[in-house]
Amino acid sequence: MSERVAVRKTYKLFIGGKFPRSESGRSYLVQSSNVSLASRKDARDAVVAARAAVKGWAGATAYNRGQILYRAAEMLEGRREQFVALGIPGDEVDAAVDRWVWYAGWADKLAQVYGGANPVAGPYFNISAPEPTGVVAVVAPERPALLGLVSVIAPAIVTGNTVVVAASATEPLAAVTLAEVLATSDLPGGVVNILTGAITETAPTLAAHMDVNAIDLTGVTDAALATDLEVKAAENLKRVLRPAPADHDWTADPGVAPMTALLETKTVWHPKGV
Amino acid sequence: MFEYAPAPESRSVVDLKPSYGLFIDGKFVDPTDGGSFKSINPASEEVLAEVAEAGAQDVERAVRAARKAYDKVWGPMPGRDRAKYLYRIARLIQERSRELAVLESLDNGKPIRESRDVDLPLVAAHFFYYAGWADKLPHAGFGANPRPIGVAAQVIPWNFPLLMLAWKIAPALAAGNTVVLKPAETTPLTALLFAEICQQAELPAGVVNILTGAGDTGRALVEHPGVDKVAFTGSTDVGRAIARSVAGTSKKLTLELGGKAANIVFDDAPIDQAVEGIVNGIFFNQGHVCCAGSRLLVQENVADRVLESLKRRMAQLRVGDPLDKNTDVGAINSAAQLERIRELSDAGSAEGAERWSPPCDLPDRGFWFAPTIFTGVTQAHRIAREEIFGPVLSVLTFRTPAEAVEKANNTPYGLSAGIWTDKGSRILWMADRLRAGVVWANTFNKFDPTSPFGGYKESGYGREGGRHGLEGYLNV
Amino acid sequence: MTATTTSARSELSELGRSETALRTFLHGLPGVDQVGAEQRAAQLGTRSIKTTAKAQAIDLAIRMVDLTTLEGADTPGKVRALAAKALRPDPADPSCPHVGAVCVYPAMVPYVAEVLRGSGAGSGRPPGGPGQPHGAAPAGLGIVHLASVATAFPSGQAPLEIKLADTRAAVAAGADEIDMVINRGAFLAGRYKEVYDEIVATKEASGDAHLKVILETGELATYDNVRRASWLAMLAGGDFIKTSTGKVPIAATMPVSLVMLEAVRDFREATGRQVGVKPAGGIKTTKDAIKYLVMVNETVGPDWLDPDWFRFGASSLLNDLLMQRTKLTTGTYSGPDYFTLD
């Protein structure tokens, strides 16, 4: 009896809710699979998709975003074995699911914790509320491939940002699989876009892109590259999150800073009168 | 006619020295490797004082003094004691507010009415506000034991010299940092008087250091490796350069940069107050305001009426001697700024916009620019895109709320915006969509120490004021 | 007057025919933001008026005073004395101008008229229809107008016929200015046409006398109402709009007067007809009066800086103006003992 021949998966990019190959037609062999090698053009396409998704995602109610993120956690939990099969430790998958759920719950709470009324010295209603900054480029950590990825995507999108993620170059399969999870949850296309391939190719394009509002350099390990990206980001004054320290503990409580770093504070004044 | 006789505020309350040194480690000292420059009164071009220009070694000395004070005194000091020094400073500012206001008007050119009624009260209030935070930081929402960052390099602009100093120094000190602050080269004098107030308050040496100088001094300061935090208010171009210069370091950066705010007037606006808001939005402080409402977006069906009212109101603006208590619009801060305003205004005319100013006699000496509006402006005009930083308003029209939002947001800046309408739900709809850090609805150019201020996009990042203002000075 | 304003005026004159038309118009006026209006008024109050400008302002303010007594205890003797003071506020200084008018209850009008008649006042108005300014005084002869409150002042709570009779009696007794009160109850209940019709009727009953319409802004409560009532009074033919009776706790304020000044400015723009403004009550000091003059100057301009178009309803204000005037002339602060207390 001959063994069944498996159907292999093609690992593609995730842009605008679809799974295209790199427009360059390139791929690279990693984790025993051919994975799309994203080009600069792919990075630009991903920014366009992310920008197009901002209005709907940022404009959705916080409750709705929370629901959608929670749904994604359900999907993630359901795919546990698939991630384990990719070599992700079960503990890490569990931690990733838990982290995703933790962030999902922040959707309709952060504005209360981080915003509020300001008691100005005059007859004015004055309130500060956080708002998403817009399109966030993210360089995901090389590892832990899943928990690290979830820890940079969830805080960015839960508040209404959309992201273009340069996934771990050495362990990209978790990222593409996460993309499949997101594609089958209710997350609108374009909210999360994932590029696989060389960070040195995609990240500089994202850092220099004038329609990107912020860049999270968490996963950059090369100090010279980090500096170069930060310099490029200065051109349109992107909000910059600097690289995480090498000894960063991904299992620790992340606090609210990963979310608040990608928020704007809008303060609205109005007179009180009759 | 009812002609107002001159009502000059006496300048005898200010005791100016012929020359000033740098304020380092609690003392006024001569520069080691710097030179000096003159600060002039922009309303008369008279020299007010000679001021030291700090060189690289002076920056070194100041950062070292700030570091020592941070390590030995200010960092370890309990919050309640830091609070008391800040309260002292706040009180001293109130007590010497007239002197400070007159000096501010002399050095900056802004009307005494503004420095007296707006700047100084806000300066004192800012110190009072942050004084109270110094011993309450664990309650500020940044963790149970938030720590200061260290030595802050702060570079401030010339438009609100003392107020910007307060916005920088008060939260920095409250959070436990020490500072080296560089005031703008055209307006260094109130910062030096503030240094005297620090002495009077017996603030420990080195907690506040003031380095006067120009761009080179500022660059040396923000690039100094001993600095942990950089805070800058000024132009977007310089902000960009600073963002590049701190790249790859661990310096924390907050930037408050330029703006090109839309002031949006709907057909159901309270017209008379809207006109006041337009005037206040662009002619307050000679338009030297980063959040100035420099683009008037007026609904087309009321544009004629609003413009007519606006012109009538502008004809009442009294331009002239900043020390006259009845002056509404003072002097442009410097020859260079005047040149920039002229250049952009000429571009507006050349690009076909229609220019209008009320009749007004400008003094012969000093730097002056009449309040000006341009009508027939489109989004493509330079005067609709570039920050003029002067008393020049560009008027555009719109037809629908969505078009107003689109035009308002169609700029790389995002500092502030104004909305004028009597319809509450429209205000909230608009406020949600405007990409700006401060939205004034049915008012404009209001400031308060409790209210966070700062921009979206190329207007910078970080917030100053309020609880949010502490974040930039804490390790969070 | 341009063709546009003529047609606008005739369109506006149609409004009074229908409750709906009046309501639609009055509720279509731009709103007033309370905080903004109060800040603007406060800002105007920070002007510093010194030396020559102050002297000029004081004399103008004296000429704008409607020297008023409206007490149950008013007697012929009291009002005669007041009238005499109106003519010569500072007997020691012949250069001191006379006031704008004396303002009394209808029953007191004859006694005041006696005194003022010698001055050429209270003897009827020079030719010129409603809405025209008072005639200039003949050279060397002061004209102090004689204003009478009417229409069941201060509440206005009387049948219309009685209010009109009150008005006619005051005019017959020699008043050349009538200060009427609007029916605030009807206004607040939204019966604008009733208010309008009463003003029209009172205007007619006033004949050649100038009609000042008291809005009693303290009872209208909001600036939106003040703006609407101002327009209503002007549409109905009022020659002046006046803030207050002085008989309710809140009398004239700077922001209320600002809103009224904006209304007369806009009304003239729309119709070509100029209407005067009279803040009354609560204005006690020279400093207050000068703030008002600054506000007039910067809101409606010099056209209104004239006793024909702006008045202060006041009693104690005059003595403070006189004291300040003396101080400017002599350089010495005077005291109340040196000014008559009539």
So what's the ipTM on this one? 0.97
Query: For B37, phi and psi rounded to 5 degrees?
Result: -145, 165
B446 is a domain residue: no
Same domain, B232 and B289: no
Domain containing B281 — which CATH number? 3.40.309.10
pTM of the entire predicted model:
0.95
Say what the pLDDT of residue C129 is. 38
Please answer yes or no on whether B451 and A223 come within 8 Å at the CB atom.
Answer: no
**A218 to chain C, minimum CA–CA distance in Å?**
48
Here the CATH number for the domain that contains residue B160 is 3.40.605.10
Q: How far apart are CA B20 and CA B50, in angstroms?
A: 6
Per-residue pLDDT tens for B315-331? 999 999 999 999 999 99
Alpha helices in chain C (DSSP H): 3-14, 19-27, 34-44, 51-64, 76-87, 109-117, 160-172, 184-188, 192-206, 217-220, 223-235, 254-271, 286-299, 317-330
> Which residue of chain A comes nearest to B240, CA vs CA?
A234
Query: What residues of chain B have any CB closer than 8 angstroms to a CB in chain C?
Result: 1-7, 113, 117, 268-273, 276-277, 316, 325-326, 422, 442-443
Nearest CA in chain B to C56: B2
The tokens of C313 are what?
Answer: 């309803």
Contact (CB<8Å) A269/B446: yes
Whether residue A9 is contained in a domain is answered as no
For residue B100, pLDDT over 80 is answered with yes
B450 within a domain of the structure (yes/no)? no
Chains contacting B (3 or more CB pairs within 8 Å): A, C
Q: How far apart are CA B79 and CA B89, in angstroms?
A: 15
Tell me, yes or no, whether A3 lies in a domain. no
Mutate to test the interface with A, among C32, C33, C35 (most CBs of A within 10 A): C35
| Number of domains into which chain A is organized | 1
Look at the block and give the residue holding tokens 């149970």. B144
Q: C50 and B7: CB-CB below 8 Å?
A: yes
The reply to whether C338 falls in a domain is no
When divided into structural domains, chain B yields a total of 2
Does a structural domain hold residue A11?
no
Mean pLDDT of chain A: 97
Q: What is the pLDDT of residue C340?
A: 80
Asked whether the CA dihedral A218, A220, A223, A224 is positive or negative, the reply is negative
B362 and B461, same domain (yes or no): no
The CATH number of whichever domain residue A172 belongs to comes to 3.40.605.10
Q: Give the pLDDT confidence of B374-404 residue by residue, as tens digits.
A: 999 999 999 999 999 999 999 999 999 999 9
C342 is catalytic: no
Which residue of chain A comes nearest to B415, CA vs CA?
A266
Do B80 and B56 belong to one domain?
A: yes
Within a domain: A14: no
Q: How far apart are CA C30 and CA A195, in angstroms?
A: 55
Summarize pLDDT for A226-247 with one digit per residue, the tens. Answer: 999 999 999 999 999 999 999 9
> pLDDT at position C4, please?
60
Q: Are A24 and A42 in contact (CB under 8 A)?
A: yes
| CA-based nearest residue to B241, from B258, B224, B259, B223 | B223
What letter would DSSP give residue B287?
Answer: G
Query: Residue C232's closest CA among C4, C95, C33, C27?
Result: C27
CB spacing of C36 vs B272 below 8 angstroms: yes
Does residue B244 sit in the same domain as residue B294?
Answer: no
Residue C312 CB burial class (10 angstroms; 0-12, 13-18, ≥19) = buried
Residue A17 included in any domain: no
Alpha-carbon distance values, B85 to B79, B82, B173 (Å): 10, 5, 9
For residue B146, whether the previous peptide bond is cis, meaning omega lies within 30 degrees of 0, is: no
Q: Which of C4, C5, C32, C33 to mutate to test the interface with B (most CBs of B within 10 A)?
A: C33
DSSP class of C243:
-
**Do B360 and B323 fall within a single domain?**
yes
Q: Are residues B199 and B184 in the same domain?
A: yes
pLDDT band at C8; cut points 50, 70, 90: confident
Residue C68, pLDDT score: 96
Asked if B271 and C30 come within 8 Å (Cβ–Cβ), the reply is: yes
Q: Under an 8 A CB cutoff, do B442 and C50 touch?
A: no
For residue B316, list chain C residues with Cβ-Cβ distance below 8 A.
298
Domain identity same for B377 and B468: no
pLDDT at C143: 84
E strand segments, B149-299 = 151-155, 178-182, 208-210, 229-233, 252-256, 262-265, 295-299
Compute the mean pLDDT over every residue in chain C, rounded to the nearest whole number. 91
Q: Flag whether pLDDT at A2 surpasses 90.
A: no
B457/A213 Cβ within 8 A: yes
Over range B427-440, report the average pLDDT. Answer: 98
Which positions in chain C touch A271 (Cβ < 8 Å)?
33-36
Residue C83 pLDDT > 50: yes
Q: Residue B292 domain-assigned? A: yes
Contact at CB, A273 and C221, closer than 8 angstroms: no
Percentage of chain C modeled with pLDDT above 90: 83
**Statement to judge: residues B113 and B217 lie in one domain:** yes
Closest CA to A237 of B156, B379, B253: B253
Domain match, B325 and B209 both: no
Q: Which whole number is the average pLDDT over B113-132?
A: 98
Residue A2 counted as domain residue: no
CATH of the domain at C158: 3.20.20.70
CB atoms within 10 A of CB A9: 11
What is the rounded average pLDDT of the residues B106-134? Answer: 98
Residues of chain A with C-beta less than 8 angstroms from the C-beta of C38: 273
Phi, psi of A235, deg, nearest 5: -55, -45
Q: Does A271 touch chain C (CB under 8 A)?
A: yes
Residue numbers of the domain that contains A61: 27-271
Q: Is C59 among the residues known to form the active site?
A: no
Tally of CB atoms within 10 A around C179: 31
CB-based contact, A126 to chain C, within 8 Å:
no
Domain of residue B234: give its range.
Answer: 19-257+456-475
What confidence score (pLDDT) does residue A10 get? Answer: 86
* pLDDT tens, position by position, A46-83: 999 999 999 999 999 999 999 999 999 999 999 999 99
Find the mean pLDDT for residues B118-123.
98
pLDDT digits 0-9 by tens, C110-163:
999 999 986 555 444 443 333 344 444 333 234 899 999 999 999 999 999 999
Instruction: Provide the pLDDT for residue A1.
Output: 62
Provide the angle, in degrees to the nearest 10, between the axes of the packed helices B271-283 and B303-314.
60
Nearest Cα neighbor of C231 from C62, C93, C27, C72 is C27
CB contact under 8 A, A269 and B467: no
Is residue A8 one of the residues assigned to a domain?
Answer: no
On the question of pLDDT at C342 being above 50, the answer is yes
Compute the C-alpha angle B97/B101/B102, nearest 5°: 120
Disruptive mutation site among B128, B147, B244, B463 for chain A (greatest number of A CBs within 10 Å): B244
* Structural domain boundaries enclosing C210: 3-126+143-330
Of these residues, B114, B256, B458, B464, which one is catalytic? B256
Residues B187, B322 within the same domain: no
pLDDT at C117: 82
- Alpha-carbon distance C186 to nearest alpha carbon in chain B (angstroms): 25
Residue B325 sits in the same domain as residue B297: yes
Is the CB of residue A235 less than 8 Å away from at least one CB of chain B?
yes
Q: What is the pLDDT of residues B405-420, one digit of tens each?
A: 999 999 999 999 999 9
Per-residue pLDDT, C120:
52
Interface check for A221 against chain B (CB to CB < 8 A): the answer is no
pLDDT of residue C127: 37
Cα A110 from Cα A154, distance rounded (Å)? 13
Task: Work out how many domains chain C is built from and give that number.
Answer: 1
Which sign, positive or negative, has the C-alpha torsion B143, B147, B153, B155?
positive
Among chain A residues, the shortest Cα distance to B250 is held by A242
User: How high is the pLDDT of residue A9?
Assistant: 86
Tell me what pLDDT residue C5 has: 66
C305·B2 Cβ contact <8 A: yes
Q: Are residues B216 and B98 in the same domain?
A: yes
Give the pLDDT score at C2. Answer: 56
A233 touches B: beta carbon within 8 Å: yes
Instruction: For residue B412, list chain A residues with Cβ-Cβ distance below 8 A.
Output: 236
The strand ranges marked E within A99-205 are 116-117, 124-132, 135-139, 162-166, 192-195
What average pLDDT is seen over chain B?
97
**Other Cβ atoms within 10 Å of A52 Cβ, number:** 16
Which residue does chain A place closest to C225, by CA atoms?
A274
Which residue among the candidates B114, B290, B387, B458 is catalytic per the annotation?
A: B290
Confidence of residue C325 (pLDDT cuts 50, 70, 90): very high
